[in-house]
Amino acid sequence: MIVVDSTVWADWFNDRSTPEISRLNAALEDEDVGVTPVIVAEVLQGFRHDRDFDLAGELLTQLPILTLDVEGHVAAARLFRLLRRHGVTIHGTIDCLIAYTCIAADVELLSTDQDFVAIARHCRLRLCAV
């Protein structure tokens, strides 16, 4: 399974052609593609039209949803603090929640967000090769 971040989903729904979109399309054909609840929220908030929102919501909510319990949220906060100690500034709690969800589930993350590259340098986050 791979988890696909909102940056890649946004490009996919906007019909862009990138290496990450090629990887997502391949994954949709022959492996499990998962999301987290916050990824679903981030993607859906970008739609302007109700019809597009509804269609995207149907697709995304049919995918495997990976979640953290309270202890996982505490671990994500620890990850944020670890990164800060190493001089890495992450632009929000959400990225640490997504990263730690992938670490806890032992799955790769597909994203174009450079924050995840920085996070992966300091922990066991595995990023999908494209």
Each residue of 79-119: pLDDT tens digit? 999 999 999 998 889 999 999 999 999 999 999 999 999 99
DSSP single-letter state for residue 106: T
Alpha helices in the chain (DSSP H): 6-13, 19-30, 37-44, 50-62, 70-85, 93-105, 114-120
Please answer whether residues 38 and 97 qualify as being in contact, where contact means their C-beta atoms are separated by less than 8 angstroms: yes
56-65 mean pLDDT: 98
pLDDT tens for each residue of 69-85: 999 999 999 999 999 99
Q: Is residue 47's pLDDT more than 90?
A: yes
Could you give the dihedral angle defined by the CA atoms of residues 10, 11, 13 and 19, in that order, rounded to the nearest 10 degrees? -130
Assigned CATH class of 2-127 = alpha beta
| 46 Rama class: left (phi>0) / alpha (psi -120 to 50) / beta | alpha
Domain-by-domain residue ranges, the chain? 2-127
